Amino acid sequence: MRWTGKRSCLVAGLVAVSMWPGVAVAASTVTGVVTFQGKRPTLPPLAMDADPACAKKHSTPAPNEALVLGTGDTMGNIIVWVSKGLPAGKTFPAPTTPVVLDQNGCQYKPHVMGIMVGQPYKILNSDGILHNIHTLPKVNPSFNQAFPATRKEATTKFDKPEAIFGIKCDVHPWMSAFVGVFTHPFFSVTSTDGKFTISGLDPGTYEITAWHEKMGTQTATVTVAANETKTQNFKFVLGAK
């Protein structure tokens, strides 16, 4: 039998689909960069003098996490997610791999994170000193537990979707983190390069929200066709109302 190029491509495509039956043929993407506009404020470093054990974990003062900027004023610690437009009735199973929050250097790491409803949330105490995890949700039950030096980890989960809420340590008041709980996997947190990517979307029109702990939220509407990648940048302006 003589195989043509078109037939070979068709067979290759069928093999790929049969090998990966859970992969959608049409997968669209929204990507972008988050930047800061305005005069860079001078933020004081985290003051850890109240606990010498914490201060000793840093050879230089730990930088303030409220505003993390990279080259070109790109912004870290921005969580970006699809806030509207997902197909009605479509559900997304929660991963079994946990999201990890570590108490390390008397700081919560990472400072900003997203998690799905029902996904395990593992909390570590790498410091080996007394800490506390006190979540501050309005919808989910609060998780408020002490982590003495000998307690190395605990696992919990969030059963309901909830926009970004804070986490504090009742032992060390400078420690803070923020988490968003979603029913879907379409969220991303920026590093200092300010970049985010949300992939695996069906074609459609979506509302995309970007959040910063001090400068609030921004939204944009993005329409993507099948297998299309659209760029949607965000700019947070200091002093904007």
Q: For the segment 175-210, what is each residue's pLDDT rounded down to a tens digit?
A: 999 999 999 999 999 999 999 999 999 999 999 999
Tell me the pLDDT tens digit for each residue of 71-118.
Answer: 999 999 999 999 999 999 999 999 999 999 999 999 999 999 999 999
Distance (Å, whole) CA 23 – CA 226: 14
Give the pLDDT of residue 241: 57
**Are residues 34 and 237 in contact, defined by beta-carbon separation less than 8 angstroms?**
no
The domain ranges of the chain are: 22-237
Domain spanning 22-237: CATH 2.60.40.420: yes
The band of 239, judged by pLDDT with boundaries at 50, 70 and 90, is confident
Whether 59 and 22 have beta carbons less than 8 Å apart is answered as: no
Q: Contacts for 86-92 with beta carbons within 8 Å, 24 or more apart? A: 86/184, 86/186, 86/202, 86/206, 87/202, 87/204, 90/202, 91/183, 92/116, 92/183, 92/184, 92/185
Q: What percent of the chain has pLDDT over 70?
A: 88
139: DSSP letter = S
Give the three-class secondary structure for 211. strand
Average predicted confidence (pLDDT) for the chain: 90
Token pair, residue 74, equals 């790109």
Taking alpha carbons only, the member of 34, 32, 47 closest to residue 215 is: 34
- Asked if residue 25 lies in contact with residue 193, where contact means CB atoms within 8 angstroms, the answer is no
pLDDT for 33 equals: 98
